Amino acid sequence: MEKTLATSHTKRSSPPSPSSAVNTSSTGFNRRTRQRLSDATASVSETDVEDEDEDEEGVEEKIEALQTIVPGGTELGVDALFEETASYILALQCQINAIKVLTTFLERCEKKDMKFGG
């Protein structure tokens, strides 16, 4: 992922430089919006750019899924969300272990009670 991120950075760094150098901020902003519209219409097709966009969209979708699963995840950022997921996983594991122990103990109690009752 680091290598792919580096390549994406290098590729993206080249387009904005001429716009900033040639024109002012307002015109640059307009051109950027136009470029996005063109991408949305799919008039300009670039496989590399599409692949990168798909990867990023996948990651974002997965982050949203985690936010829905983890309690209180929608209001958190990426860092906090990862922390909450880790702590939530640990809590669930502890609960499962505790319930297993309780079930085994209760089953033994039932057996003893039946013996005395019978």
Partner 1 sequence: MEHQGWSFEENYSLSTNRRSIRPQDELVELLWRDGQVVLQSQTHREQTQTQKQDHHEEALRSSTFLEDQETVSWIQYPPDEDPFEPDDFSSHFFSTMDPLQRPTSETVKPKSSPEPPQVMVKPKACPDPPPQVMPPPKFRLTNSSSGIRETEMEQYSVTTVGPSHCGSNPSQNDLDVSMSHDRSKNIEEKLNPNASSSSGGSSGCSFGKDIKEMASGRCITTDRKRKRINHTDESVSLSDAIGNKSNQRSGSNRRSRAAEVHNLSERRRRDRINERMKALQELIPHCSKTDKASILDEAIDYLKSLQLQLQVMWMGSGMAAAAASAPMMFPGVQPQQFIRQIQSPVQLPRFPVMDQSAIQNNPGLVCQNPVQNQIISDRFARYIGGFPHMQAATQMQPMEMLRFSSPAGQQSQQPSSVPTKTTDGSRLDH
In sequence order, the 6+-apart residues with CB closer than 8 A to the CB of 19 are 27, 28, 31, 32
Cβ nearer to partner 1, comparing 38 with 91: 91
Give the footprint of partner 1 on this chain (CB under 8 A).
1, 5, 8-9, 12-13, 16-17, 20, 24-25, 29, 55-56, 58-60, 62-63, 65-66, 69-70, 78-79, 82-83, 85-86, 88-90, 92-103, 105-107, 109-110, 113-114, 117-118
**Token pair of 5, please?**
């991120």
- Match 């033994």 to its residue by tokens: 108
- State the minimum distance, in angstroms, from the CB of residue 54 to partner 1: 10
**Could you write out the three-class secondary structure of 46-94?**
CHHHHHHHHHHHHHHHHHHHHHHHCCCCCCCCHHHHHHHHHHHHHHHHH
Cβ 105 to partner 1 shortest distance, Å: 7
For the CB of residue 101, give the shortest distance to partner 1 in the complex, in Å: 6
